Amino acid sequence: MTISSSLAAGVAGLAANANRLATISDNIANSSTYGYKRAATDFHSVVLNGAAAASYSAGGVRATNVRLIDERGPLIATSNPTDIAVDGRGFLAVTNIDALNAAGGDYPIALATTGSFRPDDAGILRTATGQVLMAWPANQDGTMPAYPRDSLTGLQPVRIDSNQYTGNPTTGMRIGVNLPATSTVAGASDGPRTVSVEYFSSLGTSETLSFSFTPTVPATGSSNEWTMGITDSASGQVIGTYRLTFDGSQAAGGTLAAVGVQVGGAYDPDTGLIDLAVAGGTIALNIGRTGKPDGMTQLSDNFAPVGISKNGSGVATLTAVEVDSKGNLLAIYNQGFSKLIYQLPVIDVPNPNGLVALSNQTFQVSPASGAYYLWDAGDGPTGSIAGFSREESATDVAEELTQLIQTQRAYSSNAKIIQTVDEMWQETTNIKR
């Protein structure tokens, strides 16, 4: 019985070390595979005689394997903006290209820590092995709607239309004009002063807001008052008429004291904003706060448009896409502006090593991994997202070669056990002769 158990222990040792050799071979073979997670083999003793006995039976050894998914390889820089890696804990969401051709909108989701995503002929961002990047789509105006964080149903394949035209309407405008104080004194004969400012409509057309400033001339003294009229070229209508009253005191002379609304949106003295309803949308017009020299002023005898600015541009075409550390996928346009088109969530599970490993460095949620949750990149326990980056293999070749030598020696030693047991059996057989 004791000799037989020794043979069984040697066979178990051979099997365990062969198992370990398989994981080492896999690790070395994938030492240059981006995003590869190292496999490890652990040995565990098997005890048949728990208490002291006259004879001892060898229990041998058993081996277990684990994929160390929580180990991360170093990040390296690349030249492709959609080479993406998670810098820290968490995973990207991907699906298979074959699932996009299936009926329905449900996509099987797998997890990955890195990928080299490039647009195919349909504009879908995918890897060479068919893994399609999944993300939350943004609204048309670049804002993000609220998506559920415990569900994958909001994720959609990332599609980039390189021939896309887009408008960039003007939504904000700032106008700072110095009006001559001498025009509001008794006897002044100055007429209205005008300023025209271009803006871009929701259809990408160039339009104009025409501002006219008409002084109120009193019979005596100084009124410090002007009427501002705003005409929109898109409709040809007056969309705003405001009475501007300026402070004539020594402490705050020349700054806005009050704004009276005759036609148009209300004026907010705390922000200096007026919501102007133009054709196809609204422009937040900043004329300055009351008591502050940051917008409209009335000083000296000069009429000077000193600070006019706006956002928006004409129709633009897509030139590039980039991803930032928060997972925002931005479209870069030739007019010099960018717009959010997708957000890449970072998926986290309580036990990453409990994920089921699939081919092409992807993983699947399992009961052992725990339930997933979708975070904004860099929030909670998750890492940020790095563009122009790939995650290298987690394999340390020097360490694997060391283990390879150890495994070879251990395998040879277990083979020696079997050889010795065979010789002892041979001796036992020879006793009968």
**Residue bearing the bigger pLDDT, 319 or 245:** 245
Report the DSSP pairing between strands 83-87 and 114-116: antiparallel
Q: Does residue 346 contact residue 375 with C-beta atoms inside 8 Å?
A: yes
Question: What's the mean pLDDT when you consider all of the chain?
Answer: 91
Strands (E), 346-413: 346-348, 356-358, 362-364, 373-375, 384-386, 389-391
- Per domain, the residue ranges of the chain are 2-68+394-431, 75-163+321-391, 170-311
Q: Is residue 1's pLDDT more than 90? A: no
CA distance 207 to 198: 6
In a 3-state reduction of DSSP, which class is residue 51? coil
Q: Which two tokens mark 261?
A: 């609304």
Q: Which two tokens mark 304?
A: 């000077």
CA distance 374 to 146: 12
CA distance 157 to 231: 45
CA distance 183 to 201: 34
pTM: 0.78
Q: Given this model, what pLDDT does residue 8 score?
A: 87
Q: Which two tokens mark 280?
A: 């196809």
Q: Which two tokens mark 264?
A: 């148009």
Q: Is residue 164's pLDDT more than 90? A: no
Which residue's entry shows tokens 């057309």?
A: 205
Q: Is residue 266's pLDDT more than 90? A: yes
Torsions phi, psi for 9 (to 5 deg): -65, -40
Instruction: Give the residues across from 83 on adjacent strands.
Output: 116
* Candidate from 76-85, 208-217, 307-316 with smallest mean pLDDT: 307-316
Domain range 170-311, CATH architecture: Sandwich (2.60)
Torsions phi, psi for 346 (to 5 deg): -105, 120
Three-state secondary structure string covering 311-340 = CCEEEEEEEEEEECCCCEEEEEECCCCEEE
Q: What is the mean pLDDT of residues 413-432?
A: 87
Q: Given this model, what pLDDT does residue 422 score?
A: 85
Tens digits of residue pLDDT in 19-44: 999 999 999 999 999 999 999 999 99
Of how many residues is the chain composed?
433
Q: Which two tokens mark 378?
A: 């860099």
Q: Which two tokens mark 373?
A: 């949750």
Q: What is the mean pLDDT of residues 153-162?
A: 90
CA distance 383 to 143: 23
**Alpha-carbon distances of 82 from 18, 177, 236, 386, rounded to whole Å:** 40, 45, 46, 9
Tens digits of residue pLDDT in 180-195: 999 999 998 888 999 9
A 10 A CB-CB count for 27 gives 25
CA distance 403 to 401: 5
Q: What is the DSSP letter of 124?
A: B
Instruction: Give the residues across from 259 on adjacent strands.
Output: 244
> Where does residue 252 rank: exposed (0-12), middle (13-18), buried (19+ CB within 10 A)?
middle
Torsions phi, psi for 204 (to 5 deg): 85, 5
Q: Given this model, what pLDDT does residue 103 score?
A: 56
Tens digits of residue pLDDT in 293-313: 889 999 988 899 988 999 988
Q: Does residue 246 contact residue 225 with C-beta atoms inside 8 Å?
A: yes
